[in-house]
Amino acid sequence: MHFAKSILHHTGIQPVERHGEAPAVISCKTDADELQHIRAAIHRFQKSGFGSLGIILKTDRAAETLYHLLCSQYKTELISPKSTSFHNGISVTSVRMSKGLEFDEVILPHAGCETYASEYDRSLLYIACTRAMHKLTLLYTKDPCPFLPLQ
């Protein structure tokens, strides 16, 4: 995945070839607008035929907050440190909990400079982006993080 590799600089990492749509990086006007984009993406996922959707946030707390906003409307699983299993469908989780997992589609909310600013954050962003097998969507409000390869 060349998109994810471009987030890191000067590495010898050879990305695994993925096939699917080019990653989408979407600017949102407000947090509410970002939530609407997430809901619209969930609706598209439900019609897509894909088996797994991962909504990956930077922290466990952010994942839990978004999970509570979505769980009453969608059949959603929270993957947290307390989780004992993983199932197909819609999963909300943090970057650290997503390590070792792959999803057909990944939505990465809050991919702005306020969330991902440090070199450590760059690594987290790379990890999150590489969880997507076929489709990756990044959303941000205000300014995008400086590590995103924007056209």
What is the arithmetic mean of pLDDT over 112-138? 93
Q: What percent of the chain has pLDDT over 90?
A: 74
pLDDT on residue 85: 83
Location of structure tokens 């922290």: 59
Q: What residues contact 94, with CB distance under 8 A and at least 6 apart?
A: 56, 57, 58, 59, 60, 62, 63, 80
The whole model's pTM is what?
0.88
Whether 90 and 45 have beta carbons less than 8 Å apart is answered as yes
Whether 62 and 35 have beta carbons less than 8 Å apart is answered as no
Alpha carbon distance 61, 12 (integer Å): 33
For the chain, what are the domain ranges?
21-141
pLDDT on residue 22: 86
pLDDT on residue 145: 87
Q: Is 125 a residue whose pLDDT tops 60?
A: yes
* The domain over range 21-141 is classified in CATH as 3.40.50.300: yes
Record the tokens describing residue 91, joined without a space.
């999963």
Nearest to residue 19, comparing CAs of 139, 122, 132? 132
